[in-house]
Chains A and B, each alone.
Chain A
Amino acid sequence: MSEPGPSGRLFWASAAAGWAVIAWGLRGILQHSLDTRPANLAKFVVGGALLHDLFVAPLVIVAGVALARAVPGRARAVVQGALAISGMVALFSYPLVRAYGLAAHNPTSLPHNYTANLLIVLGIVWAVAAGLIITRLRSPA
């Protein structure tokens, strides 16, 4: 089936409304350029998208293919899920583990040992995963 593609009054009305809001945002960025530093901001906005689309996403796909070959069928789903959760939690924790915030010399920010805590959280994730895998391998097909 060929893709019908977007069309109709709803599409054009929301496109017009949406782009008006986008234009409002871009105008704000340019008008407050002393604060928003458009060139520097663009580097992060465009860079983030390119980093994801050209590096992170292909990496996940390659990892997915490798995983499908390496892990037997009955354990695969759980390993995939646990790996995805681990990746997401680790990504979120990255600035905490690297402790960038300590540069502000505020004794109350980042009060924990985030490397240890991340390992605890990942340990729990994989303990649950191991339990699920054992249950799946033991149950009749």
Chain B
Amino acid sequence: MSLKLPAPVERFTTDSDQPLRQGAYRSALRDERLAAILGSSLGILFSVCFVTGLYSHLQQHPLSWLPIPARPAGLYRLSQGVHVVSGIASVPVLIAKLWLVWPRFVSFPVAKRASQVVERIGLFPLVAGGIFMTFSGVANIAQWYPWRFSFTASHYWMAWVTMGSIVAHLGAKWAIARRALTRPSRRPALADADPVLGTTAEVAGDGLSRRGLLVTVGAASGLLTLTTIGQTIRPLRRLGLLAPRDPATGPQGRPVNRGAANAGVVDLANSAAYRLEVSGRVARPLSLTLDQLWAIPTHTTELPIACVEGWSYSARWSGVRVRDLLAMAGAEPDRTVLLESLEPRGAYRTSTLNAGQAADRDTLLATELDGEPLALDHGFPCRLIAPNRPGVLQTKWVTKVVVL
């Protein structure tokens, strides 16, 4: 397939005084090798985000044939921490890569062969998807929602669109990137360079060198990582100047994602009418008052709580083991358990424990945090705390335990 442009349009893209002519935006930095280095870095960072994001999605939308294991206890904390750190680190890489290849956006003719048409169309989901994924992720950790769609659903489905475009782009650029990456970095052969990018020779004293650009991007990624990672790695919390959370700020010195007032549970949680009910497929349904709940022997364990937004902390929790409670009610072992919060509404007012999670020795309805009674914002009278689980599924203000 060959597309012939009409002569006036063709002239627009070739004459030396036209803005769309090849090489109009030439720079020593618009270089194939740099594009390949930035592109492969971005490909790795986005793939890490995709895999860890998929894991977070599976946690929240489990598949019956792929039950999430209760162990290792810190797996979700690690994977979600890596997800947010990689996403933040990719911001400067994405910006630099887009700047570098931008002349392609205004390059004409659009395409001469069918494969070029296919490649060029694929750049739209690639660029738009990359920008959307980083923008929506960064906005979400800052709890900024300038849109009306659901963040989780849209971020998830757009991740497939973005990842698909990366796969297609990889095939289109494989040969050129391989050539650029294996070629020695000190190369005089500009004749081989891509004319659309407008690569020129490096001249000393003429501004940022190619190495300088990589150092700049690395420094920006490093700086953003260093000033945010303290929200999940506690020894670095003093460096967390741009971290949306501080792991030591909040009731009982611990952050929360939603307080009791936001959830609308203050009166319900403090009411004398509060009961913890155990029902469903049980031999003896229970309806426990606070005093009865507190009379049950407790278990103490150190477990992390890890928010999908990338902050986390580890704490000492004490409370009733879910499996002890189920045994008291005479439930059969190996049952799925539904937990219901006092929250009147909201997507996360219930959560489910699969059989393995419900039977784990550290799956608790916690009543104490770090040896003190649980604060209202942390889920008083009792909250779920279980190993390897996203924070949004660590249901607070639990009032019903239903054996399914």
Contact A6 B138 (CB under 8 A): no
| Cβ contacts under 8 Å, B242 to chain A | 89, 92-93, 96, 114, 117-118, 121
A-B contact number at CB 8 A: 265
What's the minimum C-beta distance from A61 to chain B, rounded to whole angstroms?
6
The answer to whether residues A20 and B164 also contact, given A29-B157, A112-B246 and a CB cut-off of 8 A, is yes
Partner of A81, one of B27, B165, B212: B212
| Cβ contacts under 8 Å, A15 to chain B | 118-119, 122, 168, 171-172
What's the minimum C-beta distance from A59 to chain B, rounded to whole angstroms?
11
Interface SS of chain B: helix
Q: Does B136 contact A (CB under 8 A)?
A: yes
Name A128's closest neighbour in chain B (CB-CB).
Answer: B219
Contact B256 A104 (CB under 8 A): no
Total B residues in contact with A, Cβ cutoff 8 Å? 98
Contact B157 A32 (CB under 8 A): yes
Contact B102 A53 (CB under 8 A): yes
Q: Does A127 contact B (CB under 8 A)?
A: no
Contact A105 B261 (CB under 8 A): yes
The answer to whether residues A107 and B250 also contact, given A92-B88, A92-B224 and a CB cut-off of 8 A, is yes
As a 0/1 sequence over residues 214 to 239 of chain B, the CB contacts with chain A under 8 angstroms (1 = contact) are 01110110011001000000000000
Sorting the interface of chain A by its residue count into under 10, 10 to 19, 20 to 34 or 35 or more gives 35 or more
What's the minimum C-beta distance from A120 to chain B, rounded to whole angstroms?
6
CA distance A18 to B145 in the complex (A): 30
Contact B113 A121 (CB under 8 A): no
Interface centre among B122, B158, B241 (most CB of A within 10 A): B241
The answer to whether residues A11 and B172 also contact, given A36-B149, A81-B212, A81-B215 and a CB cut-off of 8 A, is yes
Q: Does A45 contact B (CB under 8 A)?
A: yes
| Cβ contacts under 8 Å, A73 to chain B | 205-207
| Cβ contacts under 8 Å, A49 to chain B | 124, 127-128, 131
What's the minimum C-beta distance from A121 to chain B, rounded to whole angstroms?
6
Contact A40 B147 (CB under 8 A): yes
| Cβ contacts under 8 Å, B127 to chain A | 49, 52-53
B191-199, B291-299, B338-346, B362-370: which lies at the interface:
B191-199
Partner of A76, one of B146, B207, B213: B207
Q: A53-B105, A95-B144 are in contact. List 4 more A-B contacts (CB 8 A).
A: A6-B115, A41-B147, A76-B205, A80-B212
26 sampled A-B residue pairs with Cβ under 8 A: A1-B192, A6-B115, A11-B119, A11-B172, A21-B163, A22-B161, A24-B160, A25-B159, A40-B149, A41-B158, A44-B136, A48-B128, A49-B127, A73-B205, A77-B212, A84-B96, A85-B216, A85-B219, A88-B95, A92-B224, A93-B242, A100-B145, A104-B262, A108-B255, A110-B142, A111-B245
Q: Could you list which residues of chain A lie within 8 angstroms of chain B, going by C-beta atoms? A: 1, 3, 5-8, 10-15, 17-26, 28-29, 32, 35-37, 40-41, 44-46, 48-49, 52-53, 57, 60-61, 64, 68, 73-74, 76-77, 80-81, 84-85, 88-89, 91-93, 95-96, 98, 100-101, 103-112, 114, 117-118, 120-121, 125
